[in-house]
Amino acid sequence: MLTLKDLRVVFNAGTPIQNVALDGLALHVPAGQFVTVIGSNGAGKSTLLNVISGEVTLDEGSIQIDGMEMAGLSAWRRAGHVARVFQDPLAGTCEDLSIEENLALADARGQRRGLGRAVRRERREEYREQLRLLDLGLEDRLEDPIGLLSGGQRQSVSLLMAALRPSRILLLDEHTAALDPRTADYVLALTRKLVKDKGLTTLMVTHSMRQALEIGDRLVMLHRGKVALDVAEPASKGLGVPDLLEMFQRVRAEAISDDALLLG
C-alpha cells in the first residue's frame, strides 16, 4: 500500500528559474494495484518516482508505504521497500558484474550484510530457475557479464532483479521506451506476469497512452504536478486514446477556467 499526501517539490526555489514539479500531489494505491502514470512533458512523472525512491527530497508532504513514513529516509534505506527499473537498460545493473552477481546484489537489497558463499550457492539454483522462466537462454549464462546482454535481455533481468526479493513497491520508469516494438511487447508481458504473480504494488510511467489504457488496474494522468485524471479499470471501460485526449482537454479547460475565476 502506498499513500502519497500533499507532495510538493520546488526546484531552484526563490530564484528566477523556480520550478514547481509537484504541487500538492495526492494518491492512494492499495496493495497489489498496478497503476499506469501518464502526462505531458514536465508534468512531474519522473519527479514523482524520484521522491518515492528517495532520489529527490520532498519539500512538503508524506510518503507512506504500508503505514511507514519514508519521507525522511535515504534512498539506501528505502531500497528494501522500493525497487525500480529505468528507461535506460544500462541503468540499474552493473555491467562488469556477471548476471549471477547482479541477481545476488538485488537479493541483498536493503539488507545490511551481503549473502554468504553458501547461501549464494543455494540461491544459484533459484536464479537459474527464474532466468529459465524468461525463455531467453540466460539460465546457461549465469557467469557472463551483464554488459554482454542486449537491451531487452537486460531489461528482463532488471525486472527479475526488482521482483526477486519482493519490495512493497515497484517503480517502472518508461522501462520499455528504449526497446524495439517486439522486445517491448515481450518485456511488457513479462512485467504483467511478474506483477500479477508476486502481487507487486506498481507505478508504471509511460508515454504511450495505448499502453496505459491496456495495462494495469488504474490509469492516472498528471498535469502540472498534480493528479488530473484517475480512471479505474480503463481496459474494461473500453476507453480509447481519443477518449483520454478528450478527458485531458476537459481537465485543461477546467484548469484554465479555475485560473480565470481566481483572476476574476
Ligand X SMILES: Nc1ncnc2c1ncn2[C@@H]1O[C@H](COP(=O)(O)OP(=O)(O)OP(=O)(O)O)[C@@H](O)[C@H]1O
Query: What is the binding site for ligand X (CB under 6 A)?
Result: 11-12, 19, 21, 39, 41-47
Nearest approach in angstroms of CB 123 to ligand X is 35
- Please state the closest distance from residue 17 (CB atom) to ligand X, in A: 8
Query: Which residue lies nearer to ligand X by CB, 46 or 98?
Result: 46
Q: Residue 19 or residue 74: which is nearer to ligand X going by CB?
A: 19
Q: In the complex, what is the shortest distance from the CB of residue 129 to ligand X, in angstroms, rounded to a whole number?
A: 36
**Least distance in Å: CB of 220 to ligand X?**
12
In the complex, the smallest distance separating the C-beta of residue 174 from ligand X, rounded to whole angstroms, is 8
Q: What is the CA radius of gyration of the chain?
A: 20
Given the complex with ligand X, which of 3 and 46 has the nearer CB atom? 46
Least separation in angstroms between residue 85's CB and ligand X is 15
The residues, ordered by sequence, that sit 6+ positions from 12 with a Cβ below 8 Å of its Cβ are 18, 19
d(CA 189, CA 167): 20
Select 43 or 194, whichever has its Cβ closest to ligand X. 43
Q: At its nearest, how many Å lie between ligand X and the CB of residue 45?
A: 3
Rounded to 10 degrees, what is the CA torsion of 126, 132, 138, 141? 50
Give me the least distance between CB of 40 and ligand X, in Å please. 7
User: Of 47 and 102, which CB lies nearer to ligand X in the complex structure?
Assistant: 47
| Cβ atoms < 10 Å from Cβ of 179 | 21
CB nearer ligand X, residue 100 or residue 174: 174
Q: What is the DSSP letter of 178?
A: T
3-state helix, strand and coil shares in percent for the chain, rounded to the nearest 5: 40, 25, 35
Q: Which is nearer to ligand X, 9 or 65 (CB)?
A: 9
Q: What are the distances in angstroms from CA 32 to CA 87, 115, 180, 208, 212?
A: 22, 28, 29, 22, 17
Report whether 222 contacts 38 (CB < 8 A): yes
Q: Which is nearer to ligand X, 41 or 236 (CB)?
A: 41
Residues 142 and 170: their CA atoms lie apart, in Å, by 24
**What is the rounded CA–CA span in Å between residue 226 and residue 115?**
41
213-226 core/surface letters (b: 16 or more CB in 10 A; e: else): bebbbbbbbbbbbb
Grid cell in block for residue 29:
494505491
